[in-house]
Amino acid sequence: MEMLYHQFKRRVFGMAHRIVGPNDAEEVAQEVFVRVFRGLANFRGDSALSTWVYRLTVNCSLSHLAKRGRRQEVGDETLADVPAAPAISRDPGLAARIERALQELPPGYRAILVLHDVEGLSHEECAAILECRVGTCKSQLHKARARMRELLGPIGGTPT
């Protein structure tokens, strides 16, 4: 059981952190692991174990957000003094700005961006986790990135 925890703890915590925000990430990740361990006996093997664990993570995170019923506020100190968006080629604050913009996205867009772009899962894996078609997954990713670009403004300088 502990091996399973150590195998998935980073990704589960990372996903929860980026979907629900830093304040509730640990609580959600704990809930995910409790559900995993208690439901392991009933795991039917219809999908890969990792897909099942990530699906639980996304579902727990989204339902946590729904229960909380408010937009995630970016309140932690590390992001408070993020500079406004200067269009420079090497943006030192880009990571923090991206984290902040992620928290302003609708939860569904946030989930697909975290799964595909941050965690590097394939469209097929994302579709299995989100229980949707691959085409839907791709279109959601496109919309999510477009929304992110609106929130971030120009990034990465100008093309040469």
Partner 1 sequence: MTCQDVRPHLTAYLDGELADDRGSAVRGHLRGCEACRTAAHHEAALRDGLRALPQLDAPFEMWAGVQRQLAAAEVADAEKPHWRHVVSRFAQAWFSPRFAVASAALAVVVCVWAWRFTHQHPVTVAEAPQVAAAPVRPAPKPAGEAPTAPGPDGDVAAEIASLPKQTSDAYAEATVELVKLAGDARTQWSADRQQQFDAKLGELQHDVTTAREGRLRQKAHRSLIRYLQRVTTRDEVAFADTRGTP
Residue ranges binding partner 1 (CB under 8 A):
2, 5, 9-10, 12-14, 17-18, 26, 29-31, 33-34, 37-38, 42, 94-95, 98-99, 113, 117-118, 120, 123, 138, 141-142, 145, 148-149, 152, 154-159
User: Alpha carbon of 15 to those of 40, 48, 74: distances in Å?
Assistant: 20, 18, 16
What is d(CA 150, CA 130) in angstroms, rounded to the nearest whole number? 24
Nearer to partner 1, 69 or 159 (CB): 159
As measured in angstroms, the least distance from the Cβ of 160 to partner 1 is 9
Q: Give the distance from CA 94 to its chain's centroid.
A: 17
Q: Give the distance from CA 71 to its chain's centroid.
A: 15
Q: Which residue has the tokens 């999908």?
A: 47
Nearer to partner 1, 31 or 129 (CB): 31
Nearer to partner 1, 66 or 158 (CB): 158
